[in-house]
Amino acid sequence: MTPALTVYLFLASGCPLSNRYLPEISEIQSRYQPRGVRFERPSDPASARKLGARVTPQTVVTDALGRVVYRGRIDDRGAAPGIARPPTRHDLREALDALLDGRPVPAPETPVVGCAITFPAPERKGAITFSEQVAAVLFERCASCHRPGGSGPFSVTSYSEAAPRAAAIAQAARSRRMPPWKAEPGPHPFLGENRLDEAAIRLLEAWAADGAREGDPARTPPLPKFADGWELGPPDMVVRAPKPVRIPSASPDQYTCLAIPISTPRVRYVRAFEFRPGNRPATHHALIFVDSRRIARRAGDTYPCFGTPGFLPTAALGGWTPGFGASVYPAGTAVSIRPGADLVLQLHLRASGREETAQPEIALYFTEEAPRRRMVDIALGSRRIDIAPGKRRYVVRDSFTLPVAVEITGIIPHAHYVCREMRGRAVMPSGRVVDLLTIRDWDFDWQRHYRYRDTFVLPAGTRLEMEFVYDNSAANPRNPSRPPRRVVWGPESSDEMAGLHVQAMPVRNEDAEELGQYLWGKLMRETGRGGR
């Protein structure tokens, strides 16, 4: 019997949102195929053009006469390009139920968020082509992640790989989702800035709009050379968790600490490190401490540790959040590790609905130069966060006045999902204001340790200020709660935080103790009054 309805599913393996729908699609097929519904997955752009599909994932439903009776999304989980939330409407299911019951479709055409489909065009002289113009942009700005073995969901290292995704690439570039560089240009440029300028974005848009032409393959520039394995090359030592850490399927977020012994017969000086979480989607963040007295291991293989790691660390290597790469310390600031010490990892892990594990590892890079200067973390932040549902603009501020002159090396922002804007600045004793960091579209999944290309000095008396803006309304596409709910400070991913960590070195080494005392006093005052 000829099925009454046919569902055309337009998907793309290189589209993250398409991939998230695979379990839902499997469930829909198992539910409606027994009722006579046929499912097709066309892969050619001609079919998409004929049926009016423009993005992936998108569905088109036709009746027995081939007439389109529904065109649009599977459900409404796609809040915006690159952002997914739990669905509240199941449009495809609702359309199929109505059609099979002989009722009108509630919404025959629904808006779709996803990756744009590229419709190829024949070559013509003078057109923008992959070989002559586009490859250079993709190779320089995108291929470090989007290459075989890279962290990106697809590769752009050849025309055959990039062309089918040309429209999606242009869309991601225009929205500034890709490359994922959030900091705005400022007076002090950052190392490794990976921001597309307007000319490059227009080039990608024009290439996609004109059919993603190839051009002369012989004129394609050579691919950049990428390091195999670790970002900084072969490490001097790799430290790995002795066994996987269990992540229960339905537990709340968990803070787990574990101690990892380091075998070194003498004092070693760490100049750089790279952290691999072992399970990136489940890892919210990680902090790495040095425990020379091996106190942490007494608590067992793993132990709960929200806040502090449960002991006074000898030193700290730093941390990792989504978006972090290798960390290289400024010259003269290596971290000392004594013989017999442990590295202690504090992991913030998130449940995914199924039981998982994570087995992190750390690459260490040593130097023979003992540290000559002391790095200090100047933490601005607040725990006084209580955001009502629907609040569009909730502002958190903090400040700290420098008691001594410091040399600024970097800045690390941290918040969760409803934060939208971040600003850090320095107000000099003269009143001159220096922008330290501006982010207008905060994305929890792309956090970075921003290091300045050139360090700079702030004199004693300079006031460091932070301002974070939160949007707890339904208009915030990254708000995970639908409808919005009250959000307070807390350790869960669904809670919020506000932290801006300014990385600095006292200009005079002898001032490090005084700076530390002022920072300790700030912490005690905040703790004493419940945080500010």
pLDDT of residue 22: 84
pLDDT of residue 3: 58
Beta-bridged to residue 319, according to DSSP, are: 287
**Is residue 248 reached through a cis peptide bond, with omega within 30 degrees of 0 on the bond before it?**
no
SS3 of 328-394: the string is ECCCCCCEEECCCCEEEEEEEECCCCCCEEECCEEEEEEECCCCCCCCEEEEEECCCCEECCCCCCE
Nearest to 318 by CA among 351, 372, 363, 266: 363
For the chain, give every domain's residue range: 5-116, 130-219, 251-367, 376-528
Q: Crossing angle, helix 166-174 and helix 198-209, to 10 degrees?
A: 150
**Is residue 217 reached through a cis peptide bond, with omega within 30 degrees of 0 on the bond before it?**
no
**Looking at 164-313, which runs of residues are DSSP E strands?**
237-240, 245-247, 254-261, 268-276, 283-291, 303-304
Tens-digit pLDDT profile for residues 157-186: 999 999 988 988 998 899 888 888 999 999
| Percentage of the chain lying above the pLDDT 90 cut | 58
Tens-digit pLDDT profile for residues 411-455: 999 999 999 999 999 999 999 999 999 999 999 878 888 999 999
Residue 320: what are its φ and ψ, rounded to 5°?
A: -140, 135
Residue with tokens 């956090």: 447
128-146 burial, b at 16+ Cβ within 10 Å, e below that, comes to bbbbbbbbebbbebbbbbb
pLDDT of residue 77: 84
Asked whether residue 16 carries a pLDDT value surpassing 80, the answer given is no
Question: Domain 376-528 maps to which CATH number in 3.30.1490.20, 2.40.37.10, 2.40.40.20, 2.60.120.230?
Answer: 2.60.120.230
CA–CA distances in Å: residue 21 to residues 13, 48, 74, 444: 11, 19, 8, 22
Asked whether residue 532 carries a pLDDT value surpassing 60, the answer given is no
Residue with tokens 């002391």: 374
pLDDT of residue 144: 83
CA–CA distances in Å: residue 477 to residues 110, 246, 472, 482: 18, 31, 10, 10
pLDDT of residue 122: 65
Task: Using the Cα atoms of residue 152, residue 155, residue 156 and residue 161 in order, give the sign of their dihedral.
Answer: negative
Fold of 5-116: Glutaredoxin (3.40.30)
pLDDT of residue 531: 39
Asked whether residue 10 carries a pLDDT value surpassing 60, the answer given is yes
Tens-digit pLDDT profile for residues 26-50: 999 999 999 999 999 998 888 898 9
Q: Tell whether domain 251-367 is in CATH 1.10.599.10.
A: no
Amino acid at site 142: C
| Percentage of the chain lying above the pLDDT 70 cut | 95
Helix, coil or strand: residue 63: coil
| Fold match, 5-116 / 251-367 | no
Q: What is the DSSP letter of 496?
A: B
Nearest to 343 by CA among 471, 238, 496: 238
**Looking at 214-282, which runs of residues are DSSP E strands?**
237-240, 245-247, 254-261, 268-276
**Cβ distance 201 to 134 under 8 Å?**
no
pLDDT of residue 295: 92
Structure tokens belonging to residue 415: 């918040």
Question: What does pTM read for this prediction?
Answer: 0.78
pLDDT of residue 81: 65
**Cβ distance 208 to 166 under 8 Å?**
yes
The CA-based diameter of the chain, rounded to the nearest angstrom, is 87
Angle formed at CA 455 by CA 450 and CA 458, multiple of 5 degrees: 105
What is d(CA 384, CA 397) in angstroms, rounded to the nearest whole number? 10
What is d(CA 74, CA 25) in angstroms, rounded to the nearest whole number? 8
Tens-digit pLDDT profile for residues 459-514: 999 999 999 999 999 999 889 888 999 999 998 878 999 999 999 999 998 998 89
What value does the mean pLDDT take over residues 292-316?
Answer: 86
What is d(CA 215, CA 132) in angstroms, rounded to the nearest whole number? 7
Helix, coil or strand: residue 49: helix
